[in-house]
Amino acid sequence: MITRQRLAAGVCTLLAALTAGIAFPAGAVADETTATAPKVELVLDVSGSMRARDIDGESRMSAAKQAFNEVLDATPEEVQLGIRTLGANYPGDDRKTGCKDTAQLYPVGTLDRTEAKTAVATLTPTGWTPIGPALLKAADDLDGGEGTKRIVLISDGEDTCAPLDPCEVAREIAAKGIGLTIDTLGLVPNVKMRQQLSCIAEATGGTYSSVEHKDELTDRVNQLVDRAADPVVVPQAVEGADACAKAPTVKSGLFTDRDEFGQHRWYRVDVAPGQELRTSVSVAADRAVNRDYGVLLRAVTVRGREIVRGEAAGNGRTDVISTGLRYPKPESDDEDAAAEVVCLEVSHSFSAASGVKTTPGLPLELTVDVVDGPGQADDVASFGLGRGWWLLGALILTGFLAGVLWGWISRWRVAVWRTN
């Protein structure tokens, strides 16, 4: 016999089960959304030099705080945002301690604007300028997830914690292939600072900007945060081999690798009959290199016969050099014909300037696109040129008939005129 107590318990259990069934999918969607959300970390220099009053009559720190408040108000809802400081906590003279002075002021996540503004308001210019250590920690802060990742570094001076070169740190971050971009902003015109911040940005495909006014700082940081919300294709890390036989097989997509000076990188692509391979490569000069350079991209059979190549060369200063190629694979009468293995070889002729490190290799970005071919010769003849011939024939016939008609009308008019 079912008692009231048992009935009530059963109803409660059923309601709990239904509630759980409804809640779990919603949670799964939330987790998926969070996993793909773009992430941004603002890294702010709070070293002692930020006390200087040379930005619109205010201190650099005051201008940065005002810019941060406005940026926090304008941050898109979908952006996971965090704030990290460098030089904010240790006021002493011990270099070893000062170069560890970096802390996360606000964790990367869903933005609570009031809480973030309160944290920024507490900042006071204090210590050293450990840019390199701060970038390493910021990269860890942004770890995880499949969305875009961006660091926006705002500083008024060069790093004071060598030999940990922040430019080398940026190259190491780029070499991991995690799709993290570092944008840098310099608050005052300074040659050494500009060179260092430019190098950091270029190593990861980011941008450097020099700002001298509050509104410029606000506008630029807003642009960079908004840019993080734009959908982008994140390159996949791949490690090319020194020979085609050992090379990894890649499919359509965007890939990133490192190509050392004098090195040849090989990759394999399967191209089926009737498909076309379209590929391009870009090599970035992320350090000082000599003035003459070039890049070569070759498509080769597994037996070493060159199919097609793309190459580019230049001289003087450059940031990136690119080239590409296309290879259409003809259709086969054999329906079971296997795909052809095409070997892609990438090499460049950049050479390191005196005193410049040769490792890691230069950043390489490879784009591979295998698409259905444009059609075979008979298809083109029957569809493309065939239509063209029919149109040409129709135009000729129309012109002929128009000419005969006009001639007949002209003769008739002349005959009528003579009769009158």
* Torsion angles phi and psi, residue 335, rounded to 5: -65, -25
**Across the chain, which distance is largest between two alpha carbons, in Å?**
122
CA 222 to chain centre: 18
Cis omega before residue 91 (within 30°)? no
Domain chopping of the chain, boundaries? 35-229, 236-372
C-alpha 293/C-alpha 245 separation (Å) is 28
Determine the Cα–Cα distance for residues 184 and 187; give it in Å rounded to an integer.
Answer: 10
Question: What is the fold of 236-372?
Answer: Jelly Rolls (2.60.120)
CA-based nearest residue to 73, from 287, 284, 172, 221: 221
Q: Would you say 298 and 240 are in contact if contact means Cβ atoms under 8 Å apart? A: no
Q: Tell me: the pLDDT tens digits for 132-182?
A: 999 999 999 998 887 889 999 999 888 888 778 898 898 888 877 677 889
Pairwise CA distance, residues 34 & 227, whole Å: 18
Amino acid in the structure at residue 174: A
pLDDT in tens, 107-132: 999 999 999 999 999 999 999 999 99
Are the CB atoms for 132 and 169 separated by under 8 Å? yes
pLDDT value at 233 more than 70: no
Instruction: Tell me how crowded residue 203 is: count the other CB atoms within 10 A of its CB.
Output: 23
Averaged pLDDT, 14-29: 40
- pLDDT of res. 17: 36
- Residue 404, helix vs strand vs coil: helix
Whose CA is closest to 150, among 90, 216, 71, 88?
71
Distance CA 323, CA 321 (A): 7
Instruction: Flag whether pLDDT at 31 surpasses 60.
Output: no
The fold adopted by the segment(s) 35-229 is Rossmann fold (3.40.50)
pLDDT tens digits, one per residue of 285-306: 878 888 889 999 999 999 999 9
Q: What is the average pLDDT across 52-81?
A: 90
The owner of tokens 């060369």 is: 313
Per-residue CA distances from 256 to 17, 53, 294 (Å): 47, 43, 19
pLDDT over threshold 80, residue 86: yes
What is the reported pLDDT for 20?
A: 39
Residues 6 or more apart whose Cβ sits within 8 Å of residue 293: 285, 313, 314, 315, 318, 321, 348, 349, 350, 351
pLDDT digits (tens, 9 = 90+) for 187-224: 877 888 888 898 888 888 788 888 888 888 888 888 88
